[in-house]
Structure 1
Amino acid sequence: MLKPGSWAWQWRDAETQEVIAALGIIGGATQMILTPTTSDLSMNERIDITRTPCKLGGSRAWFKCPKCSGRVAKLHLRGGRFACRICQRLTYASQSEDLIARLWRQQAKIEAKLGRHWQRPKHMHQTTFERLRRRLWDLEAAREEAFALAVRRMGWLL
């Protein structure tokens, strides 16, 4: 898409098929013009593109943040402007998780590696399986402990 040309995308309401947003892109090798359109927004923004050489030849394209001029892979549209995640003050969902939510997320990652009902998947080493299973038990114990601490902090008796 970083070649000369133009593209357009539309987002439609699933039920009514009405266009709720559109994005037009006029691209080139060194810059692109983004034209987002919604019911309350219509604008044009020029985004510069920079390149860095790759070790095995060729180059990697980066967007230049219109706000801080930093080199970024993604730009986010917020408040009517495109900018990098830091300039838009966006955070990852995991940055606002409490201890119990983090423990649940870690458990879900391990459960995804294991089969249904914590069964050892085919071709997984037994030692790896045992390590993951021990980690699951540790996570459950840590989650129960964190929950008990939270209950005590709230003044509830357990």
Structure 2
Amino acid sequence: SRLESVEQLDRREDVDLLGLVAEEAARSTAEVSGQPVVVKGDAKLLRRLVRNLLENAVRYGAPPVEATVDAPGGRARLRVCDRGPGVPDEERERIFAPFYRSSSRPPGEGGSGLGLALVRQIARRHGGEARCLAREGGGTCFEVDLPAFVPSGH
């Protein structure tokens, strides 16, 4: 399964997170801002993480969808935020479980319930974490933090 394929993280390369987010956002209506941050990891897996977050925000949230990359405290942080109905407090952790589908999702909406499980698994495989937060003023923010790569001598 796709979840099992994340188990092995053999390829580690320098990945420009902002560039990757901008490429993926070009396929959607998401707006991108932030600063360039390099992370060490598997570009293919990180692209899947970004794509899943953006697709979820566009499909289940409401515009504007905003993706921001920054580097607080030497960590790389990606936030994908929308103005949709939000995720109830009690579901913000469960939403990352495989096959879990939020009660706030409209009936008949597709999806396997694997997208956010993959996001969290990929983040953890890279030494990071994924969280679901309420957005001030309404909506949801998904936040992924990863170790930033700082070349030695800088």
How would you bin the TM-score normalised by the shorter chain? under 0.3
Larger of the two Rg values belongs to structure: 1
Give the TM-score normalised by structure 2. 0.24
Q: Considering Cα pairs closer than 8 Å and 6+ residues apart, tell me whether 1 or 2 has the greater RCO.
A: 2
More strand by share: 1
